[in-house]
Amino acid sequence: MDEAEVIEVQVPVDPAYLAVLRTAAAGLATRLRFTLGEIEDLRIAVDEAAAMLIAGGGKGPSGGGIAPGAEMTCRFDVTEADVTVSVSVPGTGRLLGTDTIPWRVLNALTGTVSTRESESSTTITLVKNRTDGND
């Protein structure tokens, strides 16, 4: 795999669909021959990022103002060395502060965590690298 392979999954902005994103993350990490620990770390990190966006920075489990029927997009950019996961929801102002426990969890589970807000959406991006020696 010379270039990044891109897989995009869209699900309703609803906690009931987080299992779909967790399963996709685990399946892709398995394909890259991540260790069991790395697979679990990525699975939990994707779940945590998506749950944070659904909750909307503490605005409630209903999505805090996300329109009914809105969709969450989870994009996986897969290379031989890593997986970059970008989880996006419609709307802005949905992020918790970076000094919170969920942010600490994301940083501990992945190599890199970043956020972006556009005029129409909020995105959390995670990068999980394979450890050396998994060839």
Q: What is the DSSP string of 27-62?
A: HHHHHTT--HHHHHHHHHHHHHHHHHHHHTTTS-TT
Give pLDDT, residue 94: 66
| pLDDT confidence bin for 96, thresholds 50/70/90 | low
Upper half-sphere CA count for residue 16 (Cβ side, 13 Å): 3
Using alpha carbons only, what angle is made at residue 105 by residues 127 and 14, rounded to the nearest 5 degrees? Answer: 80
Q: What CATH class is the domain 5-129? A: alpha beta
Give pLDDT, residue 59: 46
Tokens coding 36:
């069991």
Nearest to 124 by CA among 105, 1, 133: 105
Pick the more confident residue, 132 or 83.
83
